[in-house]
Amino acid sequence: MGNEVRKERVLLVDDSQLNRAMLAEILAGEFEILEAENGAEALKLIQKYETGISLILLDIMMPVMDGFELLAIMNKNHWIENIPVIMISAENGSAYVDWAYELGATDYISRPFDAKVVQRRVQNTIMLYAKQRHLIGLVTDQVYDRAKGNWILVSILSHIVEFRNGESGLHVMHINAITGILLECLAKKTDKYGLSWTDRSMITLASSLHDIGKIGIDDRILNKPGKLTKEEYEIMKTHAQIGASMLSQIDFYKNEKLVKIAYEICRWHHERYDGKGYPDGLKGEEIPISAQVVALADVYDALVSERVYKPAYSHNQAIQMILNGECGAFNPLLLECLVEIQDRIAKELELRSVGDQNIRQMRNVADELLQRPEFSVAERTQQQLEYERMKDKFFSSLSKEIRYEYTAQPLMLTISKWGAKVLGVDEVMLEPEKNEKLLEAIPPAEIKKLRESFLRTTPENPEVENVCQMRIHGRFQECRVISRVIWSNETLPQYKGSIGRILTEE
């Protein structure tokens, strides 16, 4: 517990050495300082330290690369979502300020600046982002477990279809991998489809069900070793409608977004951009982007995989055949993505191309994928918001409870609105053990008792319950404090804080 706490790292970007020196003087005692003379130098430091930089103080007018250019690059690469930026400039025109916020700046301070204002805004911004990262850390295991459960169930179902189709089951894993990579590239290339992290995750998961309709196709056609007759091919094509029909009949969940996406993929993953696909002859952007992406992933994997009716083509052959239009027409943007990520696809599939595998080996591959989930690190904010909604929904169901959240870095205590009211304290308190209002509501001896009980927990047994005296509505009474202590997952776990609820007599 006596480990030295690392100072938060602040990057100062200004072409004036004097300005950097003034800012460094204001912040040096509390923060570790990095300096850059222009946006280009700052970019190298961002690439080196990544989220090891807690905040950037950024000037606008600089040579080589100005502040707006750097912000645009950070915005494009989604770094701005993890590294807050405060603009500091003498340019006070509304157009400058508006453009800075448009590019993702968190705050804007005019020069000449007040030292206390700079210090307070830096502290507040770092505190906000630290809390955000802390909450994401708390929910990671829950998100992983939930996602793993979804993947396992869908994978079992899709594997049944693949098994019946006489295939190894790797096809589904390949489709997942290719779909995820294509979506990631597409989201970086254009905002046209509004592909959020949630959307990409759902499309990747739903891609596992693209061929579920094959469960309704006769075995003699499904596993025929030779070329299908025209009549047999027409029957085989109906698997798209069969799969969509199966999903549309799930009344209870039919309005769920995941089911809607799975329906799109099942029904339209054989449509083609020129309108020559099936079953509905959709053309261009009439085809949902989810189905477009899975269609391309499906064609690529079909080409590089051995089938009862064909040998496997090489990776390079498959890419060239698709680009030459030999396998139908595809969205030009997706073809651009395919070219950009072709080497990555080859490496990803090589990891999974392990030949004939038994069920245990298949599970190990799936688990390896789940430990590297398709979550975009650059979109942590969306995970944060999802967690906040989940937490709010849970706590709102609790009747007259005081809920709290304590973080060790930064030292901060957050109390629920109702709890703050009955205790007579603020909802958010920095350095809570020095907060006079809190010490009046919860005596120092009780706070010490709580802290000592938290430190007696372990990562394996993090739950603890205490009975403490607290002043509720001005009257002291015994309260039950039910807590879950948060430990880091390092070799030598460190205490990170706790979350919990306080039950009163009321």
d(CA 179, CA 201): 10
DSSP H helices, 353-399, are 359-370, 380-396
> 401: which strand partners?
503
Mind spelling out the 3-state secondary structure of 180-191?
HHHHHHHHHHCC
Whole-angstrom CA distances from 378 to 61, 72, 169, 389, 426 are 27, 15, 31, 20, 33
**What is the pLDDT, as a whole number, of residue 135?**
63
Q: Which range, of 105-119, 352-366, 463-477, averages the lowest pLDDT? A: 352-366
Backbone angles phi, psi at 397, to 5 degrees: -80, -10
pTM, whole model, 2 decimals?
0.48
Beta carbons within 8 Å of 381's beta carbon, 6+ residues apart: 81, 132
pLDDT-above-70 percentage for the chain: 79
**What is the pLDDT, as a whole number, of residue 503?**
85
Residue 354 above 60 pLDDT? Answer: no
Q: Which two tokens stand for residue 157?
A: 């179902």
d(CA 10, CA 12): 7
**What is the pLDDT, as a whole number, of residue 294?**
96
d(CA 502, CA 477): 12
**What is the pLDDT, as a whole number, of residue 338?**
95
Residue 360 above 50 pLDDT? Answer: no
**What is the pLDDT, as a whole number, of residue 256?**
84
Q: Which secondary-structure segment (H or E) carries 301?
A: helix 289-304
* Average pLDDT score over the chain: 80
Local structure of residue 3 (DSSP, 8 states): P
Beta carbons within 8 Å of 341's beta carbon, 6+ residues apart: 181, 182, 185
Tokens 């295991």 -> residue:
141
> Do the beta carbons of residue 3 and residue 494 sit within 8 Å?
yes
**What is the pLDDT, as a whole number, of residue 379?**
41
d(CA 404, CA 425): 12
d(CA 158, CA 366): 13
**What is the pLDDT, as a whole number, of residue 76?**
81
Residue 292's nearest CA partner among 170, 195, 155, 173 is 195
Q: Which range, of 27-31, 378-382, 427-431, averages the lowest pLDDT? A: 378-382
**What is the pLDDT, as a whole number, of residue 154?**
60
The long-range contacts involving 28-37, CB below 8 angstroms and separated by at least 24 positions, are 30/119, 30/123, 31/7, 31/122, 32/6, 32/7, 32/8, 33/9, 34/9, 34/10, 35/11, 36/11, 36/12, 37/13, 37/62
Count Cβ neighbours within 10 Å for each residue of 21-60 and write b for 16 or more, e otherwise: ebbbebbeeebebbbbbbbebbbebbeeeeeebbbbbbbb
> Do the beta carbons of residue 178 and residue 350 sit within 8 Å?
no
Q: Span 404-425, mean pLDDT?
A: 85
**What is the pLDDT, as a whole number, of residue 367?**
44
d(CA 385, CA 389): 6
pLDDT-derived band at 309 (thresholds 50, 70, 90) equals low
pLDDT-derived band at 320 (thresholds 50, 70, 90) equals very high
**What is the pLDDT, as a whole number, of residue 36?**
94
Q: Domain spans of the chain?
A: 9-113, 139-379, 398-503
Cis peptide before 225 (omega within 30 of 0): no
pLDDT-derived band at 260 (thresholds 50, 70, 90) equals very high
Tokens 């912000």 -> residue:
71
Residue 178 above 60 pLDDT? Answer: yes
For residues 7 and 194, the model is more confident at 194
> Do the beta carbons of residue 270 and residue 277 sit within 8 Å?
yes
pLDDT-derived band at 158 (thresholds 50, 70, 90) equals low
Q: Span 210-229, mean pLDDT?
A: 85
Q: 3-state class of 13 per DSSP? A: strand
**What is the pLDDT, as a whole number, of residue 389?**
41
Beta carbons within 8 Å of 412's beta carbon, 6+ residues apart: 127, 131, 406, 428, 429, 430, 432
| 166 HSE (CA, 13 A, CB side) | 13
Count Cβ neighbours within 10 Å for each residue of 369-405 and write b for 16 or more, e otherwise: bbeebbbbebbbbbbbeebeeebeeeeeeeeebbbbb
**Fold of the CATH domain 139-379:** Hypothetical protein af1432 (1.10.3210)
**What is the pLDDT, as a whole number, of residue 8?**
84
pLDDT-derived band at 160 (thresholds 50, 70, 90) equals low
Beta carbons within 8 Å of 485's beta carbon, 6+ residues apart: 454, 457, 462, 463, 464, 495, 497, 498
Query: Averaging pLDDT over each range in 242-251, 332-341, 497-506, which range is the top one?
Result: 332-341
d(CA 167, CA 373): 25
Q: What is the CATH number of domain 398-503?
A: 3.30.450.20
**What is the pLDDT, as a whole number, of residue 492?**
75
Q: Span 212-218, mean pLDDT?
A: 86
DSSP H helices, 165-238, are 170-189, 197-206, 219-222, 230-237
Count Cβ neighbours within 10 Å for each residue of 153-188 and write b for 16 or more, e otherwise: ebbeebbebbeebebbbbbbbbbbbbbbbbbbbbbb
**What is the pLDDT, as a whole number, of residue 494?**
81
**What is the pLDDT, as a whole number, of residue 384?**
41
d(CA 424, CA 432): 14
pLDDT tens figures, 228-258:
899 999 999 999 999 899 888 877 777 888 8
pLDDT-derived band at 400 (thresholds 50, 70, 90) equals low
Q: Are 9-113 and 398-503 equal in CATH topology?
A: no
**What is the pLDDT, as a whole number, of residue 357?**
42
d(CA 350, CA 245): 35
Q: Which range, of 177-181, 243-247, 381-385, 427-431, averages the lowest pLDDT? A: 381-385
d(CA 289, CA 295): 10
Residue 236's nearest CA partner among 215, 221, 224 is 221
**What is the pLDDT, as a whole number, of residue 469?**
92
d(CA 334, CA 269): 14
Q: Which secondary-structure segment (H or E) carries 20?
A: helix 17-27
Residue 139 above 80 pLDDT? Answer: no
Q: How many helices (H) and strands (E) does the chain have?
A: 19, 11
pLDDT tens figures, 35-82:
999 999 999 999 888 878 889 999 988 999 998 999 989 888 878 888
Q: Span 350-354, mean pLDDT?
A: 58
Q: Does domain 9-113 have CATH number 3.40.50.2300?
A: yes
**What is the pLDDT, as a whole number, of residue 78?**
79
For residues 370 and 72, the model is more confident at 72
Backbone angles phi, psi at 141, to 5 degrees: -65, -40
Q: Which range, of 286-300, 344-358, 486-500, averages the lowest pLDDT? A: 344-358
pLDDT-derived band at 387 (thresholds 50, 70, 90) equals very low
Beta carbons within 8 Å of 266's beta carbon, 6+ residues apart: 209, 210, 212, 213, 240, 243, 244, 246, 247
